[in-house]
Amino acid sequence: VKSRGVLIAGNWKMNHGLVETREFFRLLRETGPSLDAIEKLRSARLRAWAFPPMTSLQVAEAEIQNLVFPFRIGAQNVHWEKSGAFTGEISGPMLTELGLGRALTGHSERRQYFGETNETVRKRTESLLKQDFQVILCVGETKAEREAGKTFAIVEEQLRVALGIVETSVSPIAEYLDGRLIIAYEPVWAIGTGLTATPAQAEEAHAMIRDFLTKRLGPAVAAKTPVLYGGSVTPENADALLACENIDGALVGGASLKAKGFISLLEAGARALG
C-alpha cells in the first residue's frame, strides 16, 4: 500500500522553451493517460508535476488549465530572499504571483555546476517552506562516494544540514512542514547516464532516508513526507522501482520531456497504486 500516494515529477532542466512547452501540453491533452490513471489523478492518490525552465513557467501554468486532470507546475531554482540585488535569481513571491507554489532545491546539477552547498540548499528550502511552498529537496551521493562506502553518511549530512538539524535534535522546521516537504533521492552517478540504480539499491537508500525522517521529523510528519527516486527513470524501469515499499514516486529528467513518456510514467504510477 502506498500511503503517501505516488508522485511523478518531471524536471525539464534547461529544455523546452515556449514552443516545446505548448507542444508538450497539446500532446498530453490530446493523448492523455489511461482512464485508470486519470481517476487516480483526480482523487490525488496519483500526482503529476513538471518543473519547466523559468521562461516557460507562465505558459505551462496556462496550459495545465486545459487538462481534464490535475497537473501542477513548479520552478527549478528559487532564491531565499524575497527581492534584492541577486542577479540571475528569482524569488518565491514572483512565483506566487504566477500562481505557482512548488520548487526544487538541492539538485545535484546546481551543486555541481553552480556552487550550491548544503548551507545554501538549507536557506532555499527553509525560506520556501516558510512561504508555504511544496519543496522537493534533492540529495544523493557521487560514484566515488558510493564506492568509498559513504552513501549513507553523505545523504544523512545533506538532509541534516538542509533541514536545519543540529546534533541529534529534531528539525526545527518539522512543525510547519505539513506534508509540503518531499525528498528526492537522486544518486549522481545515475543522473542522465542510463545507469539506473537497481530497485534493491534504491530501496536500501530510501529505507535509510525514511528511518532518518522518522527520527528527525517525528513519526507523524515523516509519515506525510514522500521520498522519490531520481536517476535514469524510464517507462521501462518505472514499474520495478515504484513497486518498492519505500519509493513514493519518481523525479524524472530525460524521460519526462516527451508527452508520451510522461503519460507512460503516470500509467506506471497508477499501476503501482494497484
By CB under 6 A, name the binding residues for ligand 13P: 11, 107, 186, 191-192, 230-233, 251-255
Closest separation in Å from C-beta 236 to ligand 13P: 12
Closest CA to 181 of 140, 153, 209: 209
Q: Which position among 63, 186, 203, 267 bears the catalytic label? A: 186
Closest separation in Å from C-beta 191 to ligand 13P: 4
Q: Where are the beta strands (DSSP E) in the chain?
A: 6-11, 46-51, 72-73, 102-105, 134-139, 181-185, 227-230, 249-252
Closest separation in Å from C-beta 253 to ligand 13P: 2
**Which residue's CB is nearer to ligand 13P, number 191 or number 213?**
191
Quick one: DSSP state of residue 201? H
Q: Where are the alpha helices (DSSP H) in 134-188?
A: 143-147, 151-162
The question of whether 157 is a catalytic residue gets the answer no
**Which residue's CB is nearer to ligand 13P, number 185 or number 216?**
185
Contact 226, 249 (CB under 8 A): yes
**Which residue's CB is nearer to ligand 13P, number 222 or number 238?**
238
3-state secondary structure of 111: helix
Q: Which position among 63, 107, 203, 206 bears the catalytic label? A: 107
Closest CA to 100 of 76, 83, 84: 76
As separate numbers, helices (DSSP H) first and strands (DSSP E) second, the chain gives 12, 8
Closest separation in Å from C-beta 254 to ligand 13P: 4
The question of whether 147 is a catalytic residue gets the answer no
From residue 32, give the alpha-carbon distance in Å to each of 9, 28, 69, 117, 161: 16, 5, 9, 39, 40
**Which residue's CB is nearer to ligand 13P, number 74 or number 101?**
74
Name 202's Cβ contacts closer than 8 Å, sequence gap at least 6.
Answer: 185, 229, 241, 244, 247
For ligand 13P, the nearest residue by Cβ is 253
**Which residue's CB is nearer to ligand 13P, number 73 or number 221?**
73
Closest separation in Å from C-beta 274 to ligand 13P: 25
Supply φ then ψ for residue 192, to 5 degrees.
Answer: 65, 15
What are the catalytic residues?
A: 107, 186
